[in-house]
Amino acid sequence: MSTQRTNAVLESGRRKPVSVVENTRRSEFFGSHVFNEEKMIQYLTRDAFESVKNAIFTGSKIDRKMADQIAESMKAWALSMGATHYTHWFQPLTGATAEKHDAFFDLLPDGRALEKFGGGQLVQQEPDASSFPSGGIRNTFEARGYTAWDPSSPAFIYGATLCIPTIFVSYTGEALDNKAPLLRALHAVDQAATGVARYFDKSVNKVMATLGWEQEYFLVDKALAASRPDLVLTGRTLVGQAAAKGQQLDDHYFGVIPLRAINFMKDLEVECTKLGIPVKTRHNEVAPNQFELAPVFEEANLAVDHNLLLMDIMEKIADRHDLKVLFHEKPFAGINGSGKHNNWSLATDTGVNLLSPGSTPMKNLQFLTFFVNTIKAVDTYEELLRASIASATNDHRLGANEAPPAIFSIFIGEQLSAVLDELEGVSQGKLSPEEKTELKLNVVGKIPEILLDNTDRNRTSPFAFTGNKFEMRGVGAKMNCAKPMTVLNTIVARQLIEFKKEVDKLIDKKKLKKDEAIFNVLREYIKASKRIRFDGDGYSESWQKEAAKRKLSNNKTTPEALEVVVSKSSLNLFQEMQVMSEVEVRARHEVDLETYILQTQIEGRVFNELVNTHIIPAAIGYQNKLIDNIRGVKEIYGSGFKQHAEAALAILEEISGHLAATHKKSEAMTEARKKANSEVDIRKKAQAYCHEVRPYFEDIRYHCDKLEQLVEDKDWPLAKYRELLFIR
C-alpha cells in the first residue's frame, strides 16, 4: 500500500470521538450571537428600533443620522461579545460567501486609540471587487463594487467578527450577487400575493415566502480525504471501484448515527443555535457516511443566509473533528448523491400559511387559489426552473435513480388531482346556487380531510406538494438556494398578477361575484397546466415519451438548460417583474457557463494527474511483479511454463489492455480540452466541454476502476471506497 494511503488508513483508524458536552438548554442561548430584536430593544433608541423594523417590514430607507445611532449600538453590543473586527458578509456569483474584515480599532489625529464604527461603515463598503465573476458587467480596472446593508437579515458575530449581511452591486447599480435579485423577487411575490390574499382577508398587509431547506452531505475522515487529489481539488472521486457493500442493504438510512458523526452534529448544532439557525432534524441518509440536517422554516431571505452560513460552519466544525464534509452532489459513483430539497410556501402577516387548507370553504378556496396558481406558474416556466438548478456538479446527480430527472413535473397525489378534475368542470360564467353549494361543500370543503392522507410517496418528482408546501427536490447540495428561490418567487409573482387581473376583469365587466370569478379563472388554469401534473415514475421510459408528447423540456445538461435563461420570454419576465435587468440576466448566464467550463476543465486536469502520476505507475509496478513471477516460472518449467503461469499471464494481459486504453483515452481527452479551449464563443466552448471532453471521463474511469480490481491492494495508491465510506 502506498505510504500516503497507508498512513491515512492508520491515522483514521486511531481517531477518537471528540467529546461535546451540552449543559444548557438550547432555547436559553438561541440567537445569543445575533443582533436580533431582543438585542435591538436593549441597545437601540425607540426611534432607531422603529426605523429598522420599518425597513424590514416595508423596505423603507434608514437615514444617515439614524444609521449612525444603529452602528454605535451595534458596535457596543459586538464589543461586549468580544468582537474585534467587522465585515460586510455578501454572496458574489461564486455561489459561496465573501468577506473582508476591518478592525474596530482606529487612531485619532493626536495618536490616541479608540474603537470606531459609524453609519457609513454599516450601510456601505467598497471592497476591491475586481476578481469576482461579473459576466462582463464591468472591466477589471473598474474594480469598484459596493456592498450595502440588508437590514432584513440580522447581523451576527462569528468568531471575533461582527458579520453584516449585505447585497453586492456594481458602480452603475447592477447586482453582482445572488442576494439582490432574491430580495427583489421576494418583494415582487409579497406585493402580488398580498393583492390576491386580500380577496379572502382584508387585514393582510404582507406576504412572506418561507423556505425550509434539507441539507444532505457526506462525512469522510480528513486524512483519507486528503490522500485523494480528486476529492481535494474537485470535491468528488473521479475514479474508484465500488465497494462490495454499498447501500444495498439499506442499513444506514435512519440507522444509529456513528459516534464521531453524532459528536460532530452536536458541536455543529450548538454553533448554529448561537447564530440563530433553527436546526431541528438530523439523521443518517441512504448512502454510507451520508447524513442530513434540516431547520424550522424561516422567511426565505433569512433561510438562504442561514444555509450559506451553515455550510461554512460545517466545514470548520468538521475540521475540529478530523472529518471532511463533502457537499458535492455526487462525490461517489454508484451510491446516492446529495441534494438540498427546498420546501417553499407563502405566509401572511396574520399568521396564515396560504398553501394550507382551512376550516371553512372560503379558506379552502384561498388555498386552492395559491395552489393552482403555483402549478400554473411552474407549468409556464418549467424550463426556467430547471435552469435554476443547473451546474456541472448537479449534472452528475439529476436523473441518477435517487434524484429527480431533468424533466420538470408536479406531484399532487390522486385525491387532489380528483379535486382539480372536479373544478375543471365548473360552468363558465355565473354559477347556479346548486353548483355553488356542491363546489363549496363537497369539493372545496373536503380538502382538509383529503390532505390528511395525502403524504407524498413519489420520490422521483422534481416538484411535489407535500401537505402545506411545495418541495423543489432538484436543488444540489452545494448550491446557493437564492438562485432557485429567485426564479420560483418571480414566476409565482408574475402568475398571481395575471390571476388578479383576470379575476378583477370578470368582477368588473362580467359582473360575477368574487368566488364565481375565482372559480372561473382557476378552471382555465387547471386545464392549461394539466400537462405538468404527473404522479408516476419519473424514470420510466413511458414517462419520457409521454413528457415529449406533452412538450415538456428535457434539458439533461447544464449548457442545454441554461439556454432558456437568455430567451426573450425570460428576459421579459425578469425585467417586467423588476427582479433583474437584461444586463444582469446575461451576466449571470455567462458566469454560469464559465463556471461550468472551469469546473470541467479542472476535472480533466486532475484526471491527467491521477492517470499519469498515480494509476499508471501503480499498474506498471504491479505489472513488473507479474513479469518477474512469470520469468521465474519459466526458469523452473521451461517451455511448458504457460500452464503454470496461466493466471499471471491472463492478469498481465488484462492490465496491459487497460493501461493502453487509459493512456490513449487520457491523451485524447487532453486534445479535446485543447480544442475546446480554442473556442471563442462561450456557449460553443461550454458545449464542447460537455459533449467532447466530459464523455472521456467515464471511459477513463472505467479502465482505471478495472485496474483497481487487478492491481494488488497494497500497491494501489488511492484510498478505496471501502475506506472512504466505512471507516467511521
CB 81 within 8 A of CB 36: no
Pairing relationship of beta strands 161-170 and 298-299 according to DSSP bridges:
unpaired
**pLDDT tens digit string along 11-39?**
888 888 888 888 889 889 999 999 999 99
What DSSP designation does 17 have? P
pLDDT at residue 446 greater than cutoff 80: no
Cβ neighbours for 194, distance < 8 A, ≥ 6 positions apart: 204, 205, 206, 207, 348
Q: How confident is the model at residue 415 (pLDDT cuts 50, 70, 90)?
A: confident
Please, where in the chain does CATH 3.30.590.10 lie?
190-240+248-580
Q: How confident is the model at residue 141 (pLDDT cuts 50, 70, 90)?
A: very low
Q: What is the pLDDT of residue 455?
A: 57
Q: How confident is the model at residue 581 (pLDDT cuts 50, 70, 90)?
A: very high
* φ/ψ of residue 302, rounded to 5: -65, -40
Cα distance between residue 223 and residue 220, in whole Å: 9
**pLDDT tens digit string along 73-97?**
999 999 999 999 999 999 988 888 9
pLDDT at residue 447 greater than cutoff 90: no
pTM of the model: 0.94
Q: What is the pLDDT of residue 129?
A: 59
Cα distance between residue 700 and residue 238, in whole Å: 9
Pairing relationship of beta strands 85-89 and 161-170 according to DSSP bridges:
parallel
Higher pLDDT, 188 or 9: 188
Q: What is the pLDDT of residue 458?
A: 65
Percent over 70 (pLDDT), the chain? 96
CB 395 within 8 A of CB 236: no
Q: What is the pLDDT of residue 56?
A: 84
112-141 mean pLDDT: 73
Q: How confident is the model at residue 695 (pLDDT cuts 50, 70, 90)?
A: very high
Architecture of domain 31-172: Roll (3.10)
CA distances from 277 to 167, 270, 317, 422, 717 (A): 20, 10, 15, 42, 41
CB 160 within 8 A of CB 308: no
Which residue, chain included where needed, has cell 444609521? Answer: 67
* Of 361, 360, 375, 355, nearest in space to 420 by CA: 375
pLDDT at residue 130 greater than cutoff 80: no
Give residue 40's region: left, alpha or beta (phi > 0; psi -120 to 50). Answer: alpha
pLDDT at residue 139 greater than cutoff 70: no
Please, where in the chain does CATH 3.10.20.70 lie?
31-172
Cα distance between residue 360 and residue 357, in whole Å: 8
CB 484 within 8 A of CB 342: yes
Percent over 90 (pLDDT), the chain? 69
102 forms bridges with which residues in the sheet?
Answer: 86
Q: Transcribe 476-488 into DSSP letters.
A: BTTS-THHHHHHH
Give residue 276's region: left, alpha or beta (phi > 0; psi -120 to 50). Answer: left
* Of 384, 274, 259, 402, nearest in space to 329 by CA: 402
Q: Which three cell numbers stand for residue 128?
A: 476591491
**pLDDT tens digit string along 495-520?**
999 999 999 999 999 999 999 999 99
Cα-to-chain-centroid distance, residue 585: 19
**pLDDT tens digit string along 57-72?**
887 888 888 889 999 9
Q: What is the pLDDT of residue 256?
A: 87
pLDDT at residue 2 greater than cutoff 80: no
Q: How confident is the model at residue 106 (pLDDT cuts 50, 70, 90)?
A: confident
Q: What is the mean pLDDT of the chain?
A: 91
**pLDDT tens digit string along 328-348?**
999 999 999 999 999 999 999
Q: Which CATH class is domain 190-240+248-580?
A: alpha beta
pLDDT at residue 410 greater than cutoff 80: yes
User: 595-725 has which fold?
Assistant: Four Helix Bundle (Hemerythrin (Met), subunit A) (1.20.120)
Cα distance between residue 542 and residue 520, in whole Å: 33
Q: What is the pLDDT of residue 58?
A: 80
**pLDDT tens digit string along 208-249?**
999 999 999 999 999 999 999 999 999 999 999 998 887 777
Cβ neighbours for 158, distance < 8 A, ≥ 6 positions apart: 33, 275, 309, 313
Please, where in the chain does CATH 1.20.120.1560 lie?
595-725
**pLDDT tens digit string along 591-649?**
999 999 999 999 999 999 999 999 999 999 999 999 988 888 888 888 888 888 888 88
Q: Which three cell numbers stand for residue 35?
A: 443582533
Q: Which helix (H) or strand (E) holds 169?
A: strand 161-170
Question: With the CA atoms of 447, 452, 458 and 461 taken in that order, what torsion angle do they form, in degrees rounded to the nearest 10?
Answer: 40
pLDDT at residue 567 greater than cutoff 90: yes
Q: What is the pLDDT of residue 140?
A: 46
**pLDDT tens digit string along 357-406?**
888 888 899 999 999 999 999 999 999 999 999 999 999 998 766 678 88
Q: How confident is the model at residue 525 (pLDDT cuts 50, 70, 90)?
A: very high
What DSSP designation does 580 have? -
Pairing relationship of beta strands 470-472 and 463-465 according to DSSP bridges:
antiparallel
Q: Which three cell numbers stand for residue 485?
A: 428561490
Q: What is the pLDDT of residue 59?
A: 78
